[in-house]
Amino acid sequence: MAAEQDVPATGREWHLAARPQGWPAPADFALVEAPVRRPAPGQVTVRNAYLSVDPYMRGRMNDVKSYVPPYALGAPMDGGAVGYVVASAAEGLAVGDAVLHGQGWREYATLDAAHAVKVDPELAPLSAYLGVLGMPGLTAYAGLLEVASFKEGDTVFVSGAAGAVGSLVGQIARLKGAKRVVGSAGSAEKVATLVEEYGFDAAFDYKAGPVAEQLAEAAPEGIDVYFDNVGGEHLEAAIGALNVHGRVTLCGAIAQYNDTAAPTGPRNLALAIGKRLRLQGMIVGDHAALRGQFFAEVGGWLRSGELRSDETVVEGVENTVEAFLGMLRGANTGKMVVKV
């Protein structure tokens, strides 16, 4: 017999109604009232408290083969979420426990307890497990330290620098002894945050002029590491600015996620030969072994106040699409989350 607390008969969940062509539109999504299934043996029902909206979800809206399967049409979408167990038929998880799991985009989720990770809301606010202490945090940590083989004295350039991943890349580089940390972001306000709040040495607004020119000014001695969240013009500019034996983490290419035409750049890839550059793609899931070290080190910096993490919170499950589209447009500083 399952232990239970305040579980309603129905809850709201988002479905993908149509595959977006170019920029997604609200009509591509539908908010559906659906029964909340009671947990079978080994399962729990979770009342989601925060939902994650992430750039990779745009790729899952296309019907193409990738490292994660596409969203099915007319079915609930999924993604990172944190919430509280409200019904449990599983050993090890009790009503009231806080958990991280993969059934976001909805108010209530019923899932195998094996797919839920217990988290401690006393240690950090629940939403942090979707951001600085979660998937984006590990992406920044592993992408900089493992994939780009960052070492003390490197000059680091990161794009998307005011976002969830980018804001941490820059700060981790600073804390690990970078010679210089440079970031780019999409507004003067974000640029000020990078320098004044996150301790970047220099930052620029990529919308205010050519990236290559602004990067040359911000990093006159070139760069050793480029952490790419954006692709296109940013990647081309970075290849031009990289020093011999420079390293690039290819983490994301958000500038082209809504493009319908083939990308045009980088046009200068042949420079990688003479400069002996290393450009390496990454998927955060390959770096799970680093999670313990990441959690201890980043958690320590958060507690000591040496590392800042911002969130942009949109309220209400009904505004999840708006939060997702806002994140793609740059409405967020730090991690974009939905408070259910």
Which residues of the chain form contacts with ligand NAP (CB under 6 A)? 54-56, 136, 139, 160, 162-166, 185-187, 190, 206, 229-230, 251-252, 254-255, 282-284, 327-328, 330, 332, 336
CB-wise, 206 or 226, nearer to ligand NAP? 206
| Minimum distance, C-beta of residue 144 to ligand NAP, in the bound complex (Å) | 12
Specify the residue, 87 or 172, whose C-beta has the smaller distance to ligand NAP. Answer: 172
CA angle, 148 as apex, 330 and 81 as ends, to 5°?
45
CA 258 – CA 21 distance, rounded (Å) = 8
Q: Which of 135, 170, 143, 137 has its CA nearest to residue 248?
A: 143
Cβ proximity to ligand NAP: between 164 and 215 the closer is: 164
**Burial letters for 154-167: b for 16+ Cβ neighbours within 10 Å, e otherwise?**
bbbbbbbbbbbbbb
Only one residue has tokens 């301790």, namely 199
Closest contact distance (angstroms) between CB of 95 and ligand NAP is 32
- Residue 25 vs 270, nearer CB to ligand NAP: 25
Measured from the CB atom, the residue of 34 and 325 that comes closer to ligand NAP is 325
Distance, CA of 337 to CA of 328 (rounded, Å):
13
Q: Sign of torsion, CA 295 231 173 127?
A: negative
State in angstroms the smallest separation of the CB of 27 from ligand NAP. 21
CB of 136 vs ligand NAP, minimal distance in Å: 5
CA–CA distances in Å: residue 77 to residues 31, 103, 127 = 10, 8, 19
Residue 87 Cβ vs ligand NAP, minimum distance, rounded to whole Å: 31
